[in-house]
Chains A and B, each alone.
Chain A
Amino acid sequence: MSKILIVADHANGKLNSGVAKVMAVAQAIGGDVDIVVFSDDSKAVAEQAAKINGTAKALTVDNAANANLMGAVLAPQVVALVKGGYTHVLFCGNALGKDTAPRVAALLGVPQVSDIMAVHSATSFDRPTYAGNAITTVECPEGTIVATVRLASFDAVAEDGSASVEAASVSATLPSHTRYQGLQAQKSDRPDLQSAGKVVSGGRALGSSDNFKIIFDFADKIGAGVGASRAAVDSGYVPNDMQVGQTGKIIAPDLYIACGISGAIQHLAGIKDAKVIVAINKDADAPIFEVADIGLVGDLFTLLPELQSKL
């Protein structure tokens, strides 16, 4: 039977909401599931982890070195725990998980599965490649399975459990080569592009940086994040961090509104998981209309303000 370890992501005393989604994967694999919380003071977070249904034990590893989670520092500790008899170790497919999981796998001498999006068996999973344009089914070789979970693919399990919280003893030599200096949180009043429920993007048709104001105004009206196509970024209308697409951010909002975006392949790769795609474009033959749920042909400079006035 499988014995699964989930490495909890958390910040400011709060468990990351992705952990309950990783539990959905662990339950699909089947077996005993422990969640481990690395922190300098893990009690509060571990109590939250203990509530996630399916948790056998919420383990705590308290160490001043775990005050801010870093892959290079976590990896040897995770490896020490895994060697105690786990068959699987699972991480959220976010910045921390992606920083840590490969390091753990390399130390264990096993390959790593990135972005599990479906579970077929304890050793077989689906994962996206080519920015989600090709879904591969993979079979893991013998040995510990180290994987990250694509959080957008799973619903969180309920949190009405009451597992025990136990301190785990971990003997590992921690590196001193990596020092945390600080975090500058996003200060924008607009929702973060990556996690926003609604996103409005502009393309090359905007024509200038000044004209992008029409997109920002509309986004603010409906409380949306703002993105852009690579063409708009390359033309210098907006900064690079707003780029949506294969080489930018891959997003999955409930509503995506593409304005003046023709729909280059690399852009479409970044928005495929949006629940509803709306396209406004002058060119009725633009490829964006092939993926749009609702399309409107016309000049965005007249249509967008009109739409804004009606919402």
Chain B
Amino acid sequence: MKALVSVKRAVDYNVRIQVKPDGSGVVTDGVKHSMNPFDEIAMEEAVRLKEKGVISEIIAVTIGGQKNEETLRTALAFGATRAIHVKEDGEIQPLTAARALAAVFKKESADILLCGKQAIDDDANQTGQMTAALLDIAQATFASKVDIADGKATVIREVDAGLETLEIDLPAVITADLRLNEPRYLKLPDIMKAKRVQIEATNLGDLGVEAAPAIKVTKTAPPPARSKGVMVKTVDELAAMLKQKGLV
């Protein structure tokens, strides 16, 4: 069974986000980037499925500029067997990403696409679902447990009311939520080995993908600042304030 795992390079979750003063976007130059944490979870899940013998091949795929190669190296260090770089220097929105992923999925005759439920930069939470729609296959979003057997996946999903279980036929798209697993720490020998793997390059044109109509961002602003708080010296003061505000 062949798994495709889509991995996105995003500003690291520990970076304090700075909005550019002219409102044209967020400062990303010279800022630490890493693999989107939810994609790391998807990658870990693929590796665990491979270790269990459910999956035989893991293809990591990313869409973006040259720097995204680092993200593919990380995926290879996790245990991806191959890496595909869809090279595109412009901005990629979810529908275009989904078209590219669907094209790779078909070309590779993959059985499953694993990806994070959302990327922590645009917070769109769309690409997995869109890819499933374009391929006309099943989806299980926000997965916290995945079992695969007999051409089917049983997936426990994190929904508002609790944990929902779906049974889906493969091929399918599964998007990872936080609880699915805890990604392993990468070992130095694996990181070194990953550097030697040949990354397969392609682009939207080669995949026969047309960029989708895009949403235009006209302004980026920081969120409204919180008003300055007060420091209290004693528990009594704190208790009194909480009571006065009607909070307890």
Q: Please report A residues at the B interface, Cβ cutoff 8 Å.
A: 11, 70-72, 75, 94-96, 98-107, 109-115, 124, 128-143, 175-186, 194-195, 198, 222, 240-241, 243, 246-248, 254-255, 264-266, 272, 276-278, 289, 291-297, 303, 306-307, 310-311
Contacts and interface: CB of A to CB of B under 8 A. Distances in A.
B146 interface: no
Contact of A139 (B120, B131, B216, B242): B216
Contacts of B214: 111, 141
A303 B229 contact: no
A102 B248 contact: no
A307 B226 contact: no
Contacts of A183: 159, 161-165
B149 interface: no
Interface string B167-189: 11100100000110010000000
Contact of A106 (B133, B182, B242): B133
A179 B172 CA distance: 13
A-B pairs with lowest CB-CB distance, top 7? A102-B129, A106-B130, A102-B126, A106-B133, A133-B17, A181-B165, A177-B138
B218 interface: yes
A111 B239 contact: no
B67 interface: no
A130 B26 contact: yes
Nearest to A249: B178
B179 to A, nearest CB: 5
A79 B147 CA distance: 31
Interface string B225-248: 011011111111011011101011
Interface residues of B, number: 85
B139 to A, nearest CB: 5
A11 B120 contact: no
Given A142-B213, A243-B178, A310-B239, A181 B141 contact: no
Contact of B178 (A129, A178, A240, A276): A240
A177 B171 CA distance: 9
Contact of A131 (B95, B123, B138, B168): B123
Given A102-B125, A184-B165, 14 more contacts: A101-B129, A102-B126, A103-B130, A111-B95, A114-B124, A115-B123, A134-B26, A134-B220, A135-B222, A177-B137, A178-B138, A240-B182, A265-B17, A295-B230
**Most chain A beta-carbon contacts within 10 A, residue among B137, B142, B172, B226:** B226
Contacts of A254: 247
Interface string B95-108: 10010000000000
A241 B133 contact: no
Given A95-B159, A102-B94, A222-B248, A71 B139 contact: yes
